[in-house]
Structures are given as C-alpha cells and as structure tokens.
Amino acid sequence: MFEFAALTYGLLASFVMASVSRNRREAQRNPPVLALFAWSLTAFSLSSAVMLVMYVAWHRLAVPIA
C-alpha cells in the first residue's frame, strides 16, 4: 500500500513540476487549478514531514512509566 501511495505522490509531483517549468519556459501563467494543486501538494508534504518528526521525537523522548 505504501508503494502505491509513494508512486502516486511521485507521479503527481513530477507532473506539477514539469507543468510549472514548461509554463515558465514559455512565459505563460499557470492555470489556477495547477497552482492550487501545487499548494496542496506542498501543504501535504509539510504536514507529513511535521507529523513524522513529531512521531520520531515522541518515541525518542518518551520515558516509560515503571
């Protein structure tokens, strides 16, 4: 399941980056839906990174009560 999610995320991110770079090269504006999708991927990446860091910190710093 993780492999499918990683592959899907990678394909979506590469599509967005290719579209943005092509539009920049041709001096065109990005469509609003592309900008929204790019911001959504950015927010998802940042949220995932923060959650993973918090998870690792919680497991690293958790002191068992015994």
pLDDT at 22: 95
Q: End-to-end alpha-carbon separation of the chain, Å?
A: 36
Q: According to the model, what pLDDT value does residue 2 have? A: 87
Distance, CA of 50 to CA of 22 (rounded, Å): 31
Q: Kindly give the confidence (pLDDT) of every residue in the chain, 66 residues in length, as a single tens digit, with 9 standing for 90 and above.
A: 889 999 999 999 999 999 999 999 999 999 999 999 999 999 999 999 999 999 888 888 876 665
Total-model pTM: 0.74
pLDDT at site 21: 95
- Domain range annotation of the chain: 2-61
**Complete DSSP assignment for 6-63:** HHHHHHHHHHHHHHHHHHHHTT-PPPHHHHHHHHHHHHHHHHHHHHHHHHHHHHHH--
Report residue 24 as tokens. 């920049």
So what's the pLDDT on residue 3? 94
